[in-house]
Structure 1
């Protein structure tokens, strides 16, 4: 039997180690990288992530809450959508509320919309529509971050007491969705809900329900929608403040 030379053994070992490394390296790199995000909106939570250490807001039975799905499907087809929130405070408890929409620009953020609000009534649901002016229009297939910032009465600093954040993405109206909306076979809010276009489902139904709060069908539909976004605890809350 022919003996394998020392030089051949060395070459074989180098080739073998190279093969091992070339197979293992991509596995190690993939393990260190985060999973690719879905084509949607980042997940989050509908209540503030924390408060300022010396925040002086009143204690409430329910927290400041955004009406959104927070499931990666917080979409709208509107260029100027309307956002809904539950505000648990009385007018005398809040000095100012700010609503901001930010356009992520690489590693920085650019405000494309900002408005200041004053509570006119007690606790309840509040809607914040984006003013229908061209400079405030959301672009199709673009992701935006919004913030609801609250300064409680007595706060003399520039730091907000509460910050609530979320995301919104405007998606195009497909031919199928357009046909559904024009068919009159279903209520628009159900079509939006079935297509997981949550901001428009919430706004469309809320506008109908709070215009006709005694309508039992709308009441049931509102409860079902709140359950779908895990906010059934807000089912007894009325429309308190509008912009």
Structure 2
């Protein structure tokens, strides 16, 4: 009888261990799927540039980007500038990450305090200056700092707690970033931004979406600044995620910025 009881308890324990193992395995698999689902958009990102002059309420998407890269030096609205150091042109240009629409470097946002992304080549001791201006040319925000001395892309956020007014709907703001080194070499890239107001339906869709889903929604709705910020946040949270890296490359390629698409994101 003792032997029978012993065999019974051993069988129960074996089943219990097997059950615990199966539960643990299922939990791990579900966790992986949850993480993947949260981090990565579920289908390819396609950015739709906006139509300039549209009303300030978000009502739909535009058409897919097509156009030149805007690298002509001497233009008043440069998006990319080649930089020369020691008689050598650096591999990657100084770049404002913004689409070109109607001959302008122009993008949309829903954010009162958006983030502006730029790419800066590795230049030791370079100084970066960022300025946001209103429709009449008045400076609303200005900041200045040293570069990280890396060939990389990074964002400059408009601060919420520095007496900086939020962006207003239906107004086009201009921004520029200047890069200075060796006391005499100054390069400037520029962009424009307009804040839109989401429809109640779109606002509800965003509220219920994951951050990865928001990237796709922003891109389809022409909200460039929001799409880049959301995808950058995802990449920073999971820098080893190859799918997010591929999504970033796809988004940059969509607006003709293939030359900085593979560079590091700070």
Alignment TM-score > 0.5, same fold: yes
TM-score by length of 1: 0.70
Map of 1:8-87 to 2, 5 A cutoff?
A: 38-39=53-54, 47=71, 49-50=73-74, 57-58=84-85, 59-71=89-101, 74-87=107-120
Shift, 1:217, TM fit: 2.1
Corresponding residue number in structure 2 for 1:89 = 122
Corresponding residue number in structure 2 for 1:193 = 219
Measured in 2, the distance between the counterparts of 1:122 and 1:103 equals 31
Measured in 1, the distance between the counterparts of 2:90 and 2:175 equals 23
Measured in 2, the distance between the counterparts of 1:177 and 1:234 equals 31
Corresponding residue number in structure 2 for 1:174 = 199
How many residue pairs get aligned? The number is: 191
Structure 2 unaligned spans of 5+: 1-51, 57-66, 76-82
TM-score by length of 2: 0.64
Shift, 1:40, TM fit: 7.9
Q: 1:177 to 1:215 in 2, by over 3 A?
A: same
Measured in 1, the distance between the counterparts of 2:119 and 2:72 equals 12
Measured in 2, the distance between the counterparts of 1:148 and 1:40 equals 28
Q: 1:40 to 1:129 in 2, by over 3 A?
A: farther
Query: 2:169 is matched with which residue: 140, 144, 147?
Result: 140
Shift, 1:111, TM fit: 0.4
Corresponding residue number in structure 2 for 1:116 = 144
* Runs of 4 or more consecutive aligned structure 1 residues displaced over 6 Å after TM superposition: none
User: What RMSD over aligned residues (CA atoms) do the two structures have, in Å?
Assistant: 2.8
Contact 1:57 1:152 in 2 (8 A): no
Contact 1:104 1:145 in 2 (8 A): yes
Shift, 1:228, TM fit: 1.3
Measured in 2, the distance between the counterparts of 1:50 and 1:151 equals 17
Structure 1 unaligned spans of 5+: 1-36
Measured in 1, the distance between the counterparts of 2:179 and 2:70 equals 15
Measured in 2, the distance between the counterparts of 1:164 and 1:48 equals 11
Measured in 1, the distance between the counterparts of 2:72 and 2:134 equals 20
Q: 1:167 to 1:115 in 2, by over 3 A?
A: same
Shift, 1:190, TM fit: 0.8
Pair member with larger Rg: 1
Query: 1:151 is matched with which residue: 180, 185, 198?
Result: 180
